[in-house]
Amino acid sequence: MSTAREELIELLARKSFRLGEFQLSSGSASDYYIDCRTTTLDARGAQLVGHVFLDEMRRQGWHADAIGGLTMGADPIVVAVIVTSGTLHGFLVRKKEKQHGTGQRIEGFREKGARVVIVDDVCTTGSSTVQAIEAAREFGFEVAGVMCLVEREEAKGRPNVEKAAAPAPFVSIFTANEVRKSI
């Protein structure tokens, strides 16, 4: 019987990992691409993501009121975790403030001073994760930890996120090499 973590990496390898020639959003070229949404938006994948992220938060000792991240990669992770937990709240960070309505950048849970965990699906340069951290802190959240589903292990990614997250820790559930080995 496999664990949720083992089943999740197998699903990522099968549904989300592609070999070929790809241009990444960072502008660099890669011989592989990871589209985590094909896993996080899968019924079983969402269940596994919810359990694995909650387990990691508990393992890290992160006591949070809410979980959130930059839309769009974080969206299915946030929903999976809050539904699985039954107690955590969720929030999403827009890339920029709305130009209409209330003009909010943070949607969903909005309690200043709350402890939150920032999540992302893939961390390459760390840019989207850093944006979410900065927006959360600007709003008034206390960042308890930062977590991504797959870390591409690019030279700048982890250092960029760790610097922005400090003193909160940054952890990845899997590395791209771990997913690649599971193919």
Asked if residue 25 belongs to a domain, the reply is no
Would the pTM count as exceeding 0.85?
A: yes
Q: Name the domain count of the chain.
A: 1
Residue-by-residue DSSP string for 96-124: S--SSTT--SEEE---TT-EEEEEEEEES
Residue-by-residue DSSP string for 51-82: HHHHHHHHHHT---SEEEEETTTSHHHHHHHH
SS3 148: strand
CATH code of residue 78:
3.40.50.2020
Asked if residue 19 belongs to a domain, the reply is no
Tens of pLDDT, residue by residue over 99-134, are 666 779 999 999 999 999 999 999 999 999 999 999
Cα separation, 55 vs 145, in Å, equals 14
Tens of pLDDT, residue by residue over 45-99, are 999 999 999 999 999 999 999 999 999 999 999 999 999 999 999 999 999 876 6
Contact 101, 107 (CB under 8 A): no
* Cβ neighbours of 114 (radius 10 Å): 18
What residues make up the domain containing 163?
A: 49-175
